[in-house]
Amino acid sequence: MGSAAATPPPARKPTQDELKRVAAHRAAEFVEPGMTLGLGTGSTAAHALDRLGDLLRAGALPGVTGVPTSLKTEAHAARVGIPLLPLGGHGGPGKIHLSIDGADEVDPDLNLVKGRGGSLLREKMIEGAGDRFVVIVDESKLVPRLGCTGAIPVEVVPFGAHHTLGLIRKVFDGLAGFRARLRTGEDRSGSEAPFVTDNGNYIVEMFFDDGIRGDLRDISDRLLRITGVVEHGMFLGMATTVIVANKDGTVEVIN
C-alpha cells in the first residue's frame, strides 16, 4: 500500500505580541554605541527595553543611556540594566539621538495617535527632542484616519477638569461623530475616580466615529489654545521611521 504524502501542518499565525517583539527587535538594530535613547512606554516598547537590556549586558552597546517616557518604563529599564538620565539633566535642552516607542494608530502620512497608555506628555517631550523617532507597531495599528480605533487622549490639569472638558466639547461641537469624556475607573478598584497620569494630570478622551475627517493641524492648534489643556496624543509629523511587523511574517521599514 502506497503511503500518502503527509500534509504539513498549517503554519501558526504569529500572535500580536510576537509581532510587537519582531518590530521592537528590528528597531534595536538602529541603536549605536554611545547613543542617548528616548525609551517609550507600552507593551511594544517593553520588548525594545528587554532587547536593549540584553544587548547592553552582552557588551554590544557601550555608552548607551536612556531617558524614560514614564515611571513604568523607568522601573523596567532599571530592571534590565539600561543606565538612565533625566530629560535635560545638564541644565540645557536634552539631547536624544533616537527614540523608540509604540503607537496606538499610524495613518498613511505617519501621523500617530499615542497615549492610550496615559504617557503622552512625557512621550511627546522626549520623542520631540530627538534626532530620530522610530515607531514600532504590528499591522493592526495602521489606520486610514486618526481616531478610527479609539480615543484621542488629551492631558488636562486636574483643576477645573470638567470645565476644560466642557470647553473641548464646545470647541469641537459639530465635528462629525465627536464625543468627549473624562477617562476614569482604571485604579483596579473599578472606581469612577479620574485616571491620573505620571504628571498628576487627568485625561480627556476625544472620540470621532470613523476617525477624524477634519484638518489635524487645525484640531491640534485649537486644542492647545484651550487653557487647561496640557498636551494631546496626536503626534503629527514626528515619526521619522515606522517599523511594521505583518502577520505574513514580513517587516516593513517606512521612512
* Type and span of the H or E element at 252: strand 251-254
* Residue ranges in the chain assigned as alpha helix (H): 16-28, 43-57, 71-79, 120-127, 161-172, 216-224
Interface with ligand 5RP by CB under 6 A: which residues?
Answer: 40-45, 101-104, 114-120, 123
Rounded distance between C-alpha atoms, residue 65 and residue 81, angstroms: 10
| CA-based nearest residue to 206, from 159, 158, 164, 160 | 164
Is 252 catalytic? The answer is no
* Tally of helices (H runs) and strands (E runs) in the chain: 6, 13
All three cell numbers of 179, joined, read: 464625543
All three cell numbers of 76, joined, read: 523596567
Q: To the nearest whole angstrom, how small is the minimum distance from the Cβ of residue 30 to ligand 5RP?
A: 17
Check 123, 127, 155, 205 and give the catalytic one. Answer: 123
Cβ atoms of 129 and 239 closer than 8 Å: no
Which of residues 169 and 195 has its CB atom nearest to ligand 5RP in the complex?
A: 195
Q: To the nearest whole angstrom, how small is the minimum distance from the Cβ of residue 44 to ligand 5RP?
A: 3
Rounded distance between C-alpha atoms, residue 73 and residue 75, angstroms: 5
